[in-house]
Amino acid sequence: MIKILFLLIIITLIILFSFGVPTEDTINNSLVISNVLVDNNTASENIWLDFTPSSVLISEEKNQKTKEIINPNIDFDTKYLLGKLNYQNDSRFIEVSLEDSVKSGMYLRKETYLAFKQMTQDAKKDKIDLIIISGARNFETQKNIWENKWSGLIGDYYLIEDEYNKATSILEQSAMPGTSRHHWGTEIDLNNLNNSYFYGGEGLKIYNWLAENASKYGFCQPYSTQDSRSGGYQEERWHWSYLPTSSVFTQQYSSLVKNDDLSGFLGDHLVSELKIIVNYVLNINRECL
Ligand SMILES: [Zn+2]
């Protein structure tokens, strides 16, 4: 405890030294972050320690303060984009608190979680409860999901004899290992994994709130209705992406990841025939690019 206090004092001094006496804007900036942290556990303290004020900018526009979240310090490589990561031991990630998720052991990038905390606290004021069903999933986890479907342990895809058709059927609901946006720690699945839930009642209220407000916190729905894209994954009203980081990963995926990088799982010989990068990874809602 004393160590943590000492560390906090040192960090405060460094911040004051680096950024001078806080102006009104930087004070507001701190308040935004503090609001997020007030009711939370020690996990949130960790976010604060690594989340430098330079990654959030408050600007004044027509007498209205708007918060613009600038790309955090992002360091990544091809392995990162492919989800070849161990989130538990990676300081860019943090475990999601059980008050925000349906299960323990779920991870997100720190700035994704911080933005979610801001969003869910404001949503609560409008009587909207957001809960995370799925966060970061690495290559191995996605490989298990994919191969369980491919081999028949889950579902009846094994009945489809033509392998190309089998792959496209699985792709209606699951990404190939190495191609899931969930690898990046920028994606959250919220509340329910069925579109029908979001068409009426409580689900529709939640979806309408997200459609209207999520962008204020940096979130975008990458798998929008298929009218706005051609082919690719089905619409997913539950899947939201933290754009300040994920847009960088999306852009870099097309130049860094090659078809040959997508291997090591059943059906990987179909990667180039399926044009998986163009038809699936990059085929998202234009507003999320
Ligand atoms: Zn998802």
Segment 81-132, tens digit of pLDDT:
999 999 999 999 999 999 999 999 999 999 999 999 999 999 999 999 999 9
pLDDT per position as a tens digit, 5-63:
565 566 555 544 444 433 323 223 222 332 333 233 333 333 333 333 333 333 334 33
Picking from 66, 58, 48, the residue whose alpha carbon sits closest to that of residue 111 is: 48
Query: Which amino acid, one-letter code, is at 155?
Result: G
Question: pTM of whole model > 0.85?
Answer: no
Residue entry with tokens 């699985």: 170
CATH code at position 237: 3.30.1380.10
- For residue 3, report the distance from its CA to the centre of ligand 1, in Å: 38
- For residue 207, report the distance from its CA to the centre of ligand 1, in Å: 15
Do 131 and 227 have their domain in common?
yes
Tokens found for residue 227: 């009218």
Q: Which residue has the higher pLDDT, 68 or 76?
A: 76
Say how many domains are in the chain: 2
- For residue 13, report the distance from its CA to the centre of ligand 1, in Å: 40
Query: Which amino acid, one-letter code, is at 280?
Result: Y
Do 155 and 121 have their domain in common?
yes
Tokens found for residue 236: 């997913």
Neighbours of 119 (CB within 10 A): 25
- For residue 189, report the distance from its CA to the centre of ligand 1, in Å: 5
Do 159 and 96 have their domain in common?
yes
Do 200 and 265 have their domain in common?
yes
Collapsing DSSP to helix, strand or coil, 257 comes out as: coil
Do 9 and 54 have their domain in common?
yes
Find the Cα–Cα–Cα–Cα dihedral 188, 282, 284, 59, rounded to 10°: 70
pLDDT per position as a tens digit, 104-115:
999 999 999 999
- For residue 120, report the distance from its CA to the centre of ligand 1, in Å: 18
- For residue 278, report the distance from its CA to the centre of ligand 1, in Å: 19
> Between the CA of residue 93 and those of 17, 85, 133, 205, 240, what are the distances in Å?
27, 10, 17, 30, 18
Domain containing 56 equals: 2-69
DSSP 44-94: HHHHHHH--GGGEEEEEETTEEEEEEPPP-----HHHHTT---GGG-TTEE
pLDDT per position as a tens digit, 233-279:
999 999 999 999 999 999 999 999 999 999 999 999 999 999 999 99
- For residue 286, report the distance from its CA to the centre of ligand 1, in Å: 17
- For residue 279, report the distance from its CA to the centre of ligand 1, in Å: 17
Do 247 and 147 have their domain in common?
yes
E-assigned strand segments in the chain:
56-61, 64-69, 93-95, 107-109, 132-134, 187-190, 219-220, 239-242
